[in-house]
Structure 1
Amino acid sequence: MVTLFQTLHTLSYVAVDHVADRVRALKDEEKGASAVEYAIVVGLIAAVLVGVVVAFGNRLAARFNAIIP
């Protein structure tokens, strides 16, 4: 079990380090800034959609079931 934990810890460290390197590389590029801005907008839209589905999920399901029996 300890070996599994150590392996997962190492893999997570490598993944975070890789992502941090990519963010640092994109930080200085204008294209990277635009990509990050678009990613933030897409993330916010996805969060709003998830919130709407959670808030109105049962009503939406009832409507779809009424339309498509």
Structure 2
Amino acid sequence: MLHIYATLQTLGFRIKNRLQRDETGATAVEYGIMVGLIAVVMIAGLVVLGPKLSELFNDVSGKIPVVTP
């Protein structure tokens, strides 16, 4: 009788452990997705704004007077 009780108790603990979700890997995946999306947004921003920023800096540098000693 004790053997049956021990077997059922062990089975119960195994079922309980399987039903509990292990979410430690999920946070790593979520951080990876966020980093990937941030990288995509940064690259898209540089592609869209890159030529305009280059033009702006060239315009500003052309208006700065050169002082020779």
Normalized against structure 2, the TM-score is what? 0.46
Which one has the largest radius of gyration?
2
Normalized against structure 1, the TM-score is what? 0.46
Q: Determine which structure has greater relative contact order: mean sequence separation of CA pairs < 8 Å that are 6+ residues apart, divided by chain length.
A: 1
Greater share of helix residues, 1 or 2? 1
